[in-house]
Structure 1
Amino acid sequence: MIEALLIPFDYEYMRNAMLVSAAIGAICGLLSCFVALKGWSLLGDALSHAVVPGVALAWILGLPFALGAFASGLLAAWVMGFIRRNSRIREDAAIGVVFTAFFGAGLVLLTLFPSNIRLQTIIFGNVLGIAPEDTLQLLIVTGGVLAVMLLRGRDLMLWCFDAGHARAIGLNTSLLQILLLGSVAAVAVAAMVAVGAVLVIAMLVAPGATAYLLTDRFGRMLQLATAIGAGTALLGAYASYFLDGSTGGVIVSLQALLFTVVLVVAPRHGLLAGRRARRAAMEASL
Structure 2
Amino acid sequence: MITWITQPLMYEFMQRGLLAAVIVGLVCSIIGCYVVLRSMAFLGDALAHAILPGIAIAYLFGGNLMIGALVASILVALAIGFFSKHGTIREDTAIGVLFSAALALGIAIISTIRTYAVDLSHILFGDVLGVSSSDLIQISILAFVIIMLVLVFYRPFKIISFDPVLATTLKLPAEQLRTLLLILISLTIVTSLQTVGIGLVAAMLVTPAASAFLLTNRLSRMMLVSAGIGVLSSVLGLYISYYVSIASGSAIVLVSTLIFIFSYLFSPRKGILRVS
TM-based fold match above 0.5: yes
The sequence identity of aligned pairs, in percent, is 35
Name the SS of the counterpart of 1:272 in structure 2. coil
Q: Structure 1 132/210 Cα, relative in aligned 2: closer, same or farther at 3 Å?
A: same
Instruction: Quote the RMSD (CA, aligned, Å).
Output: 2.0
Report how far residue 255 of structure 1 moved.
0.6
Report how far residue 5 of structure 1 moved.
4.6
For 2:52, the equivalent position in structure 1 comes to 52
Structure 1 residues 256-267: aligned runs within 5 Å: 256-267=257-268
For 1:80, the equivalent position in structure 2 comes to 80
Distance 1:192 1:93 in 2: 25
Counterpart of 2:134, as a letter, is E
Q: Structure 1 12/160 Cα, relative in aligned 2: closer, same or farther at 3 Å?
A: same
Residues 56-88 of structure 1, C-alpha deviations (whole Å, 9 max, x = no match): 112334443222211211222233344445686
Distance 1:35 1:268 in 2: 21
Distance 1:178 1:2 in 2: 46
Name the SS of the counterpart of 2:273 in structure 1. helix
Name the SS of the counterpart of 1:271 in structure 2. coil
Distance 1:162 1:62 in 2: 46
Q: Are 2:45 and 1:33 equivalent residues in the alignment?
A: no
Counterpart of 1:126, as a letter, is D
Name the SS of the counterpart of 1:242 in structure 2. helix
Report how far residue 205 of structure 1 moved.
0.5
Instruction: Single out whichever of 242-251 and 264-273 deviates more from structure 2.
Output: 264-273
Larger radius of gyration: 1
Distance 2:190 2:4 in 1: 35
For 1:200, the equivalent position in structure 2 comes to 201
Distance 2:82 2:242 in 1: 45
For 1:69, the equivalent position in structure 2 comes to 69
Aligned residues: 275
For 2:92, the equivalent position in structure 1 comes to 92
Q: In the alignment, is the contact (CA less than 8 A) between 1:134 and 1:190 conserved in 2?
A: no
Name the SS of the counterpart of 2:257 in structure 1. helix
Distance 2:166 2:158 in 1: 12
Structure 1 residues 76-155: aligned runs within 5 Å: 76-85=76-85, 89-114=89-114, 118-155=119-156
TM-score norm. by structure 2 comes to 0.92
Q: Structure 1 133/44 Cα, relative in aligned 2: closer, same or farther at 3 Å?
A: same
- Point out where structure 1 has 5 or more consecutive residues left out of the alignment: 278-286
Q: Are 2:238 and 1:250 equivalent residues in the alignment?
A: no
Instruction: Single out whichever of 102-111 and 60-69 deviates more from structure 2.
Output: 60-69
Q: In the alignment, is the contact (CA less than 8 A) between 1:80 and 1:95 conserved in 2?
A: yes
Distance 1:174 1:92 in 2: 15
Counterpart of 2:201, as a letter, is V
Q: In the alignment, is the contact (CA less than 8 A) between 1:125 and 1:192 conserved in 2?
A: yes
Distance 2:42 2:101 in 1: 15
Report how far residue 165 of structure 1 moved.
2.0
TM-score norm. by structure 1 comes to 0.89
Q: In the alignment, is the contact (CA less than 8 A) between 1:148 and 1:179 conserved in 2?
A: no
Residues 124-148 of structure 1, C-alpha deviations (whole Å, 9 max, x = no match): 1111011211111111111101111
- Point out where structure 2 has 5 or more consecutive residues left out of the alignment: none
Q: In the alignment, is the contact (CA less than 8 A) between 2:21 and 2:128 conserved in 1?
A: yes
Name the SS of the counterpart of 1:32 in structure 2. helix
Counterpart of 2:18, as a letter, is M
Q: Structure 1 213/62 Cα, relative in aligned 2: closer, same or farther at 3 Å?
A: same
Residues 83-116 of structure 1, C-alpha deviations (whole Å, 9 max, x = no match): 4456865443432332232122111111224456
Counterpart of 1:179, as a letter, is L
For 2:238, the equivalent position in structure 1 comes to 237
Residues 140-167 of structure 1, C-alpha deviations (whole Å, 9 max, x = no match): 1111011112211111111111233213
Counterpart of 1:10, as a letter, is M
Structure 1 residues 168-179: aligned runs within 5 Å: 168-179=169-180
Counterpart of 1:104, as a letter, is A
Q: In the alignment, is the contact (CA less than 8 A) between 2:35 and 2:206 conserved in 1?
A: yes
For 1:7, the equivalent position in structure 2 comes to 7
For 1:280, the equivalent position in structure 2 comes to none
Q: Structure 1 266/138 Cα, relative in aligned 2: closer, same or farther at 3 Å?
A: same
